[in-house]
Amino acid sequence: MPRAYDLGMTMPRLVAATTLLLAAAFAAVEPNPATAGVLRIGLADDPDMLDPTLARTYTGRIVFAAMCDKLVDITPELDIAPQLATEWQWVDDNKGLVLKLRQGVKFQDGEPFDAAAVKFSIERHLNLQGSNRKAEISAVSAVEIVDDHTVKLVLKAPFAPLLAALSDRAGMIVSPKAAQAPGDFANHPVCAGPYKFVERIAQDRIVLDRFADYWNKDVVKFDRIVLTPIPDSTVRLANLQSGGLDMIERLAATDVETVRKDPHLKLSTITGLGYQSLSINLSNGARAKNPLGQDPRVREALELSIDRAALNEVVFNGLFQPGNQWVGPSNPFYVKSYPVPARDVAKAKQLLAAARAPNPQVTLMTTTVPETLRAAQVIQSMAAEAGFDIKIQATESGAAIQASVDGQFELYLNYWSGRTDPDGNLYNFVSCKAPPALNVARYCNPAVDEELDAARTAEDAASRLAHYAKVADHILTDRPLIYLWHPTWLFAMSAKIAGFEPYPDGLIRPQGMTMQ
Amino acid sequence: MTAGTFDAVAIGEERGERPWRRTMRRLAKRRAALVGMTVVAFFIALSILAPIVSPYDPLATNWAMVRKPPSMLHFFGTDEIGHDILARIIWGSRASLMAGIISVSLALAIGVPIGLLTGYVGGIVDATVMRLIDAMLAIPFLILAIALAAFLGPTLTNAMIAIGVSQMPIFVRLTRGQVLSVKQEEYVEAAYAVGNSARRIVLRHILPNIIPPLLVQATLATAAAIIAEASLSFLGLGQQPPDPSWGSMLNSSKNFMSQAPWMAIWPGLAISSLVMSLNLFGDGLRDALDPRGDS
Amino acid sequence: MTAFLLRRIALIVPTLFFVSVLIFGLQQLLPGDPALALAGENQDPAVIAYLHQKYHLDRPLPVRYALWVQGVLQGDLGESIRIKRPVFDLICEKLPVTGELALLALIVALAIGVPAGIIAAVKHNTAVDYAASMAALWGLSIPNFWLGILLILLFSVESGLLPASGFVGPGDSLKQNLLTLVMPAFVLGNAIAAVMMRHTRSAMLQVLSSDYVRTARAKGLGELRVILRHALRNALVPVVTLGALEFGQLLSGAVLTEQVFTIPGFGKLIVDAVFNRDYAVVQGVVLCTAMAYIALNLFADIAYVLINPRLRT
């Protein structure tokens, strides 16, 4: 038998010594060092291009909230507030919008912010090839420079949602010098926001440094913001709990209790602008020819078989907001005469019997997002009690988008991230003129279009609401979509963070935030 | 020339018996392999008897019993929709076993004939086919499976096809290698000289000799296929809810590790014990078939 | 020898051609118009048309293939439609990350697998053999994403010893770099450890029954010395060369490990690109890994032949 001293005692001693040394070296290292003045935020996915004109993901907007100021902003109550523009006025029968610009503002490369820059940026949004903003402000036909700090947007026709559009990416003003420099702007963005772009490592992090000459620099306290995409919600939270991050967005609803029990963390919530809905194929190809697509009673039965409150409870711990319209019950544009209906299985069965389809077979297409799949299973189970035989078809998102455009679906559980103005949540999904990729139900009702167009040109909120009430009369009876819930934005952060105010658009505005 | 192949050349109809019996005898002496075989047999029996043995319908949900810990009512606890986990483990064995067995069967059914053909025929056919096989092997297995499964759509069937196709090149290479080494044996040349047709040579002389290493590789590939199904489920491909599969159960459990650890423990134990058993059995089989080993 | 080498190198060309056709076909035939997937939430028809035109999505398949190959031969691998960066840049950024992870995983695999294999071979057919086999096998038996999340909960959330996820480059801070890679390397290396153990065990078994080891024993040398100085040195050669071929396995495993631990490497790049229909990225990355795999194969073949002159044909 081999004996240890054959080898000599030197080898084991050496190994032991090295291990101890390494252990000591590592023990001295703090696994997740927090650096003073740095805010580390965990994102739910990787943003796309950092160019406000071309960008198309929701998560990108979180980066822009820190990097690019816009002409106007919203308040938590969804009113319009000044940002780069200090005052505005509708002129020419609402066919012109005059904006007075803030003075003394600089871009992050030192260039001055003025009317010429605004004209350049708006025209870039309208004309750049591949611009994703064009459809949002297509009502603008020209931008006129009145003087160095005043611009006038000339519209083809009155368009009430314009200011709301300017509170998002379409209102972000970029430095003309940087935009005209060679290379893609997305790789070296320059705007007028509180933080300037430093570097980006794809799928790893985006680093922004404080802009010393920001016009509102007194409320900007952090020196640096680092945004890290971590798609798995459990791992994202784990990073927050272990101190590797200071704040995360889109906490999973089922993790809320964990955050509430942790004395080092705190929670911040607000109802969002988006919604989740069941889109029904009404006339998009051959697959519309089934009882669900053809008979409104079957659709009503489907809606009545779903218990929105129980669905919310099981899948989202009761944290999201059940809804039945394109805006939430607490939104000023909610049509109060149509409250969220309760479950009524008996009536659902009656309706199906009257439609002579007691057991409709329906394929429910959904993406593979875990929470969506859970909700789909619950819906399947609930609708089964009324007689629906629902088969779930989980589809990878790229294929799902294509299938919905091509009409290769009967029922589609999909999500819209939401816009400030109700028009942004409605027009493109039910209008005859909507893009085919969004109005997947292919619903077309001229009476509805009339009201939608009227709501766009109406003077004040009250008359707009009256038009939307008429839209509801049609939509909530024809049911091209069955709206189910409105997600609540859930933010978890270190208890040391103060001054964070959640907005319904779910973005993180660094102004006013500090670390204690 | 090894003792093993010489044995197989015995004259007369007895030639198949002696090496197999020796293999069985050697296998019986390896306890680890026997344990492995028993566990695998247990899971196969479980999957066949699922309708009888399962306490609940795996698709039945109960809103009041969401994420409840193990209790007398639900021995393994419930999951995030209220399904009984024990029922889903029992029924899920079907999906995992099928993912393993069918994928590998597909890989064998495509790979072995190609390997036999290309190994025997040689020449330009062999060269071209092997370059194609090399190309498939050059793409990392999981990436090939992901691309195929994304292409076909996220279902269990498509996952099995994707995994089977991704595993096929290894069987082609293995078969071809064996064919090449056996082709040069004297008894094959003798058979050819005597006037046997190519098909007869391949089927009666070559194929029986290459079965042992194929069997070993198939066992180990089944284990790898079961893990691959779980991996594809993690990425949202493969068996979709509400149909149970251990892989998708693991995938759902990952977001509830601290709140409901039982959701992760049972499918994890099930997968690891099945896969470990297959690996032990495969290793034991390889040792038993090794002509060099002890006797 | 030179003839052998030249022949082997010449065979690379058709292989690479098949790889390019295979991955191009798989990407372009994925269901779903990439322009739709990339047009974002607004789905503006003008943007979709622009994407079609810019990325030649409306041209027939063989034309697109020819355009792509032409670009590759000129050194242009295309750009990521999603974030507008050249694929070549992305590869150069991510390759070292996965490379480091793979290297550390290989070290873990060797550290677990080789001793386990030696012990299993020396104590052949005893309880120790089985125990060592099981210890190495469990890495192959557990889905690595599950193990990863378990480790994160244990070592980050509960005890705060290691960072939960993410990556710090070795240039920024070597200590942080190694800390972020400890768990992923362990998870990844675990699976390969079993393969290493098997190779080591069978190589050792073969060597231990060979003539020169019998001679060494007959000379009266201590058993441990025989194992370590004579047997192991010869057994390790096939193990290491076979280890190089495990590179493909490592990359497969890295795909999931990088997803769980959010490590910005090759694996994560590919998976995200497949789901985002960022096909230029997938094609470029797969071509790159295929070339690396083929190169490693060539190296392993050459090494094998150099060490074992009997194999030279």
**Pairing relation of β-strands A488-494 and A247-248?**
antiparallel
Contacts A377 to B, Cβ<8 Å = 61, 81, 241-242
pLDDT at C245: 63
Size of interface A-C (CB pairs under 8 A): 177
- Stretch A428-436: mean pLDDT, rounded? 88
pLDDT in tens, A233-273: 888 998 898 888 999 999 999 899 999 999 999 999 999 99
Contacts B259 to A, Cβ<8 Å = 254-255, 257-258
pLDDT in tens, C265-285: 888 888 888 888 788 888 888
pLDDT at A27: 47
pTM: 0.83
pLDDT in tens, C142-197: 888 888 888 887 887 777 778 777 787 777 778 888 888 999 999 988 878 877 88
The model's confidence at residue A22, banded by pLDDT at 50, 70 and 90, is low
Q: What are residue A269's DSSP bridge partners?
A: A490
- Stretch C6-23: mean pLDDT, rounded? 85
Which SS3 state, helix, strand or coil, does residue C37 take? helix
User: Of A344 and C210, which is predicted with more confidence?
Assistant: A344
pLDDT in tens, B152-177: 778 888 889 989 998 999 899 888 88
DSSP alpha helix (H) spans, A28-139: 58-67, 115-127
**Pairing relation of β-strands A411-416 and A224-229?**
unpaired
pLDDT at C313: 45
- CA nearest to A70, candidates A180, A194, A186: A194
Is pLDDT above 50 for B5?
Answer: no
- Decide: C98 and C267 in contact? Cβ < 8 Å: yes
Are the beta carbons of A437 and C269 separated by less than 8 Å?
no
pLDDT at B48: 93
pLDDT at C219: 76
Mutate to test the interface with A, among B65, B67, B80 (most CBs of A within 10 A): B80
H or E, element range at A54 = none
Measured in angstroms, the CA of C72 and the nearest CA of chain A are apart by: 21
**CA–CA dist A355, A359 (Å, integer):** 11
Which SS3 state, helix, strand or coil, does residue A362 take? strand
pLDDT in tens, A132-163: 898 889 899 999 999 999 999 999 999 989 99
pLDDT in tens, B240-255: 878 888 888 888 888 8
pLDDT at A453: 92
List the single residue in C with minimal CA-CA distance to B127. C11
pLDDT in tens, C286-308: 888 888 888 887 877 777 666 66
**CA–CA dist A237, A246 (Å, integer):** 10
**CA–CA dist C56, C51 (Å, integer):** 8
Amino acid, single-letter form, for residue C102: A
Mutate to test the interface with B, among A241, A254, A382 (most CBs of B within 10 A): A254
Are the beta carbons of A394 and B236 separated by less than 8 Å?
yes
What's the mean pLDDT when you consider all of chain A? Answer: 89
Are the beta carbons of C262 and A228 separated by less than 8 Å?
yes
pLDDT at B243: 86
DSSP alpha helix (H) spans, B9-152: 17-29, 31-48, 50-53, 85-121, 123-138, 141-152
How far, CA to CA in Å, does C261 sit from each of A136, C138, C143, C181, C258? 38, 21, 14, 9, 5
| pLDDT cut 90: percent of chain A above it | 70
User: Of C173 and C76, which is predicted with more confidence?
Assistant: C76
**Pairing relation of β-strands A247-248 and A38-43?**
parallel
Give ipTM to 2 decimals. Answer: 0.78
List the single residue in A with minimal CA-CA distance to C50. A130
**Cis previous bond, A435, omega within 30:** no
pLDDT at A74: 94
DSSP class of residue A150 equals E
If you search the block for the tokens 């038996």, which residue do you land on?
C141
Is pLDDT above 60 for C228?
Answer: yes
Are the beta carbons of B264 and C198 separated by less than 8 Å?
no
Measured in angstroms, the CA of B95 and the nearest CA of chain A are apart by: 17
pLDDT in tens, C84-130: 888 998 988 888 898 899 889 988 888 888 888 888 888 877 788 77
Phi/psi at C132 (5° precision): -65, -40
